[in-house]
Amino acid sequence: GYSVVWMIKKAKKCIEKCKTVTIITPKKIITNDDWLENQGVEINDDKVILFKRVSSDFKTQENTKNETVWTVGTLIEHSNYNPKEQECGEGKFHACSRPYFCDEFRTLNGDVYIAIEIDVNDLYVWPDASYPHKIAFQSGKILYQCDKKGIRFDS
């Protein structure tokens, strides 16, 4: 037989017991470029398209002081940007490399997905992130509503 092992978490040792095993140790994600490469996100003119899951009326953090409206066609900017303090919580917006990865953070009936154009220099990746498909950003332009695969809905 043949087997492949991905060394996702730190382990003391992985023992290669036969010649038909391949051990893959992924590159540590340290920079925004590392994250974009790891997630397969294309860069066009120093911008990327990332995704977010929002309510049917295009809101997140509903009925809290952090409620945000994600209206298609608008530019949104976080007024209290502080991504380094913690991976989750206040101080930044979050986006995912694929829409379906956002399902880990919202699961309300009627939610929709949006595509956001973000300048690469406006991203922040956490070292040793708990959520590898999520990244922080300060501002971005809401481009369109899409399906779970990122395919744009016709207007």
pLDDT above 70 coverage of the chain, percent? 95
Q: Give the pLDDT mean for 51-70.
A: 95
The pTM of the full predicted model, rounded to 2 decimals, is: 0.85
pLDDT at 146: 97
Higher pLDDT among residues 134 and 154, named by residue: 134
- Per residue in 103-133, pLDDT (tens digit) is 999 999 999 999 999 999 999 999 888 898 9
CB neighbours of residue 133 within 10 Å = 19
Q: Give the pLDDT mean for 18-33.
A: 81
Lowest mean pLDDT among 17-21, 27-31, 52-56, 119-123: 17-21
What's the mean pLDDT when you consider all of the chain?
A: 90
For residues 113 and 52, give the distance between their C-alpha atoms in angstroms, rounded to a whole number. Answer: 6
For residues 19 and 139, give the distance between their C-alpha atoms in angstroms, rounded to a whole number. Answer: 49
Question: Does pLDDT of 12 surpass 70?
Answer: no
| Contact partners, residue 155, CB within 8 Å, separation at least 6 | 144
Question: Does pLDDT of 6 surpass 80?
Answer: no
